[in-house]
Structure 1
Amino acid sequence: MTQQSSAYQDKNDYQELAVDKLLNKDLDDTEALSNEPTPTYGLESLGIKNVRHIYRNLSIPKLIEHTLARGQGVLASNGALSVQTGKYTGRSPNDKFIVEEPTSKEEVHWNKLNVPISEANFDLLYRHALSYVQGRDLYIFDGFVGGDPKHRMGVRIINELPSQNLFSHQLFIRPSEEELAHHKADFTVLAVPGLKGDPENDGGINSEAFIVAHLGKKLIIVGGSYYAGEIKKSVFSLMNYFMTKRDVLPMHCSANMDAKGNTALFFGLSGTGKTTLSADPERRLIGDDEHGWSKDGIFNFEGGCYAKTIRLSKENEPQIWEAIRFGSLMENVVLDWAERTPDYDDDSITENGRVAYPIDYIPNAVVPSVGGHPNTVIFLTADAFGVLPPISLLTKEQAMYHFMSGYTSKLAGTERGITEPEATFSACFGKPFLPLSATVYAEMLGERLDRHGTKVYLVNTGWSGGPYGVGQRFAIKHTRAMVSAALNGQLDDVKFNPHPIFKVLVPESVPGVPSQVLDPKSTWNNPAAYDQQAKDLARRFVQNFKRFETAREEVIAAGPCAD
């Protein structure tokens, strides 16, 4: 056996061992890591009783020690804790439910993504969870969501796994000792991945995984999935509901600011470059994923970042690269067995490898994570058809149209079953997490764009010269140059021309970008094939937008020409 094949075999052995350890319930019966009695921290008010040990807001080293002692992870050569999540390496959108009860019944926009489940079935699952945690150790994180003290909400995350509690510690806002002493939870998440659902006997669910939110009780149960992202997105979904009641627009976006305090927002689904482009060494990071826009400005919902690691490089993403160190949590990243060195190019586990780290691991992060009203908004899309311009300016109505459309291509690994880019429309660039109608959020956005004179650009980080499999993906250096030009005002005096099909305004020049790149049609060998593909995508836009029956006529008219 060659040295290379031996190392590969060892790597496979490690992956199998890691998943085996994670799923082995016998680990719950190991000797306790501490024999000291602990208080209940009010868990009995949730019906949680007869648990073995309760650990609240443990330090990072202790959470890592607990994970290592239980055999549920290893330390990588960069110092990060590395874990595997087994079967679920991404979100499971078909297993997310909202309880249909008086609080939600009339307000929630029920559809294929906001699926109702009865209170009776929720109560049954909750009883299963209460029974499951008896005799087990639990880890509590008490902290906050919302960087603006005026709008922040208390969150309590109760975890079965210390590694997921580390995730909670790094992704949400950590309290001071005084804040912890007086902490009150507005939201509660009970994450018990070892509890598998039974669709035959647990009514209303589809598989062993279930993520169920009760808006009235502000309570979420996450079961059956070890993927920590379910915890984060569950809390985000609650914020998307409750923030609108405070006249705060909740947004699935990144945010940063320049040295003068000029703020920018980056919208886009996973894999479109949102995290990478917002982690700009020349700008200060406010947050990488979830924000609110209030009458005072914007603020980050979180206290950390959850970045994709596939094909991560020190050259292209230096800030993310350096943030992966002791205290960070890597999920489903392949390690060399002997040296524990991460291989970010290896997708044998998933394309959706992730790393969680606190925002202050980014050297120029804004703390506290608040900023003024944005001067510029960037909509990111990865167009697998290769027809959208790499950058274009939008009118307010076009911005609302494309915000409601949320067009991109799902990238491999982001959700189960996705193995190659697939065209999709996700309203507001985050429809799975929006309990209300997309028109509610779009009207809030349009009002803010009007009031603050914010410019909106549509940036395509996808393909040029042909569709996926034929064309090439835009070079990241060109995308960075276009985004920088938009943020720095270098496009203010450039001439723009409307695209004949999509109507968006395309610049004639961008500093640092070849002019032929800006016209997508000119990059195709067959212009007629481009027109056909572009019209096909336009028809998809129009067909998708028909579901927004309450949209205003001027917003509908801002869409592309389908004929």
Structure 2
Amino acid sequence: MTPNYDKHPKSKVGLDYLGLENNKNVHWNLKPSELYEKAICRGEAFLTKDHALVVHTGKFTGRSPKDKFIVDQPSIHDDVDWGEINQPISEEVFDNLFTKVQNYLGDKELFVKDLFCGADKNNRLQVRVVSEVAYHGLFAHNMFIRPSNDELVDHEPEFTVLAAPFLEADPSVDGTKSSTFIICNFEKKIILIGGTMYSGEVKKGIFGVMNYLLPKKGIMAMHCSANHDENGKTAVFFGLSGTGKTTLSADPDKTLIGDDEHGWSDEGIFNFEGGCYAKTINLSEEGEPMIYATTKMPGTILENVILNDDREPDFDDVSLTQNTRCSYPINFIPNASKTGTGNHPENIIFLTADAFGVLPPISKLTPEQAMYHFISGYTAKVAGTERGVTEPQATFSACFGAPFMPLHPTAYAELLAEKIRKHGSQVWLVNTGWTGGAYGEGSRMKLTHTRRMLSEAIAGNLENVEYVEDANFGVMVPTAVDGVPSEVLVPRNTWNNPEEYDLKARELASMFVENFKQFEDQASEELLKAAPRVS
């Protein structure tokens, strides 16, 4: 019997606003099982032994930041922090590409998913994803918040992602930099995607929209994970990719609110998403049991993961990319929050993977230092992570998520500082990188030690311990944490040659100061005083 894909709740808003009203081959709000079937039958995906879906995204296994643009319009021109990240493009270029996409998708099989971004009903965004691949439909179903059938009928999209991954632009004709384009038009409320199947563009495109809209309402938009304990004590974890944001928030003793994107309103924090998008490189059952368990579940998407002969994922195989990932609904995590909301955070953690091996494993920040480190957004790349990287390289990404922040970094930093002052949040800097030497000489911080330090800090057990001031960065470092060897806490003591540590620490401090020069003209005197000391 041929499946009937058309018996699903359908929004009263059709596709006429996209110029696709004449397409008769549109599937509305298919269930995961149906999207599975479509993805496999269309050759987009295949199955693991445990019936998770595997997708290889082709040439692009990550985002294409150089091909991402915002349409420069009078209504937003003065708000956007234009530059290499927020690249302007003209309305004419957008309109021509929009027409090209409309013509291309006019007779294609299309998959529409109507969803929400934001667990706070007063501040959520009604989102529509339209794509020529079923895989995008399942990804959107996993990652965004899923409406009820009644909500679907009344769903009116406030922003639409229109994806044509197999349509390539001609830069000489279309005004793009390459055959790939990701263009956000705030007035038309459309994100146009072409030339890439990588689904992270769908997720992060909407994240960028939220990061533009929410601060205008006094709501902090955050690239962070979050959890809370049994007493409702909330912690948020900021950090760039590879710093442990997902791993450390997925604590079996805590309730997971979300693993990547949140808002902080006057009522508390709320998850933007309804799912998780975890990196799977070197994933193991021993190291991250809850995330590992999701990879065995039907409904999970494994992106660019290689299977062995028994059709089991080989998470150590990076032959396609180091950016292997899994996407799954957040309820696949047993201790996930049912509401996606939490109280005002009592603790804020900035995560950095310091490959220079000089930052303390945990340290306490003043509000001014918190702003400074938030604007800096430091972590480090290590040898082998990217072509041409042969030694540790400092990486600074403002607000721990510069590629997704349309406004100037100080706008987010000032809003964060206001929230911290109002609610008395304590900010911690946690180094999940190297100790006892730089990458190649020292060793990676033990996850058990990091978890213990965070647990003690969040529980309030570090309030009355002795602290020493770090000579280079001015942060306060505890000299004792229950369950952690004391020699680990002060990084200089972990190096065989303390003089080499001093040199490397001054080198990194200088990098901080040099990077921050781009923000000095909009920084207060108090903020500038929070900079590392460079002799």
Distance in structure 2 (CA, Å) of the matches to 1:34 and 1:126: 31
Q: Which residue of 2 aligns with 1:5?
A: none
Residues 341 and 469 of structure 1: CA distance in aligned 2, closer, same or farther (over 3 Å): same
CA distance in 2, matches of 1:192, 1:130: 9
Asked if the contact 1:33/1:66 (under 8 Å) is kept, the reply is: no
Of the three residues 250, 257, 261, the one matched with 2:221 is 250
Structure 2 counterpart of 1:233: 204
- Report the alpha carbon displacement of residue 523 of structure 1 after superposing the two structures with TM: 1.4
What residue in structure 1 maps to residue 397 of structure 2? Answer: 426
Name which of 442, 463, 468 aligns with 1:471: 442
Among 35, 43, 52, the alignment partner of 1:71 is 43
Residues 232-267 of structure 1, C-alpha deviations (whole Å, 9 max, x = no match): 000000000000121110000000000011100000
Taking structure 1 as reference, are residues 195 and 397 closer, same or farther at Cα in structure 2, changes over 3 Å only? same
- Pairing 1:95–2:67 present: yes
Using the alignment, how far apart are the partners of 1:156 and 1:455 within structure 2? 37
Question: Which one of 110, 113, 117 corresponds to residue 141 of structure 1?
Answer: 113
Distance 2:440 2:68 in 1: 33
User: Which of 491, 513, 517 is residue 542 of structure 1 equivalent to?
Assistant: 513
Aligned equivalent of 2:283, options 289, 312, 324: 312
Q: Which residue of 2 is the match for residue 265 of structure 1?
A: 236
Residues 417, 300 of structure 1: CA spacing in aligned structure 2 closer, same or farther, 3 A cutoff? farther
Relative to 1, partners in 2 of residues 1:183 and 1:350: Cα closer, same or farther, differing over 3 Å?
Answer: same
Equivalent residue, structure 1, for 2:97: 125
CA distance in 1, matches of 2:388, 2:238: 24
CA RMSD, aligned part only?
1.9
* Aligned match of 1:20: none
Distance 1:35 1:112, change over 3 A: closer
Q: Which range moved further: 165-174 or 119-128?
A: 119-128
Find the residue that maps to 2:172 and give its secondary structure: coil
In 2, the alpha carbon distance for the partners of 1:456 and 1:369 equals 22
1:201 is aligned, of 153, 161, 173, to 173
Q: Deviations over 1:15-42 (max 9, x none)?
A: xxxxxxxxxxxxxxxxx98697998951
Runs of 5+ unmatched residues, structure 2: none
What is the Cα deviation at residue 500 of structure 1? 0.4
- Would you say the 8 A contact 1:262–1:375 is kept in 2? yes
Code of the aligned partner of 2:265: S
Hey, which bits of structure 1, 4+ residues long, moved more than 6 A?
Answer: 32-40, 411-420
Paired letter, 1:389: P
Tell me, yes or no, if the aligned pair for 1:376 and 1:454 is still in contact at 8 Å.
yes
Deviation at 1:124, TM superposition (A): 1.3
* TM-fit CA distance, 1:194: 0.6
Please state if 1:508 is matched with 2:472: no
Deviations 1:190-211 (A, max 9, x none): 11111112211111x2112111
1:187 corresponds in structure 2 to: 159
Aligned residue pair count: 530
CA contact (8 A) 1:351 1:413 kept: no
Deviations 1:143-201 (A, max 9, x none): 10110111111000111110111000000000001100100111111111111122111
Amino acid at match of 1:494: V
Alpha carbons of structure 1 residues 80 and 37: separation in structure 2 relative to 1, 3 Å: closer
- One of 336, 350, 360 as aligned partner of 1:379: 350
Structure 1 gaps of 5+ residues are 1-31
Q: Does the C-alpha gap of structure 1 residues 65 and 195 become closer, same or farther in structure 2, counting only changes over 3 Å?
A: same
Question: 2:98 aligns to what SS in structure 1?
Answer: helix
Deviation track 1:370-427 (CA, whole Å, cap 9, x = no partner) reads: 1110010110001111111111000000001000000012468988887875321000
Q: In the alignment, is the contact (CA less than 8 A) between 1:389 and 1:519 conserved in 2?
A: yes
CA distance in 2, matches of 1:553, 1:340: 59
Q: Which amino acid aligns with 1:550?
A: Q
Counterpart selection for 2:133 from 140, 143, 161:
161
2:196 match: secondary structure: coil
One-letter amino acid matched to 2:486: S
Residues 91-148 of structure 1: CA distance to partner in whole angstroms, max 9, x if unpaired? 1111111110112211101111011001111111111111111211110110101101
Write the deviation string for residues 457-499 of structure 1: whole angstroms up to 9, x where unpaired. Answer: 0000111122122221111111111111111112111111110
Distance 1:368 1:232 in 2: 20
1:436 equivalent in alignment to 2:388: no
Quickly say closer, same or farther: Cα 1:302–1:241, change in 2 above 3 A: same
Residue 480 of structure 1 is matched in structure 2 by 451
**Does the CA contact (< 8 Å) of 1:384 and 1:467 recur in 2?**
yes
- Provide the rounded CA distance (Å) in 2 between the counterparts of 1:412 and 1:230: 26
CA contact (8 A) 1:270 1:411 kept: no
Q: Give the CA deviation at 1:526.
A: 1.6
Deviation of the 1:520 alpha carbon:
0.9
Specify the SS of the correspondent of 1:554. Answer: helix
TM-score where L is the length of structure 1: 0.91
Match of 1:51 in 2: 23
Pairing 1:448–2:416 present: no
Q: CA deviation at 1:52?
A: 4.6
Query: Distance between the aligned counterparts of 2:24 and 2:226, measured in 1?
Result: 42
Q: Does structure 2 conserve the Cα–Cα contact (< 8 Å) formed by 1:255 and 1:263? A: yes
1:363 aligns with 2:334: yes
Counterpart Cα distance in 2 of 1:468 and 1:210: 36
Residue of 370, 375, 378 corresponding to 1:399: 370
2:81 to 98, 109, 126: 109
Deviation at 1:78, TM superposition (A): 2.7
Distance 1:335 1:222, change over 3 A: same
- Taking every aligned residue pair, what percent have the same amino acid on both sides? 53
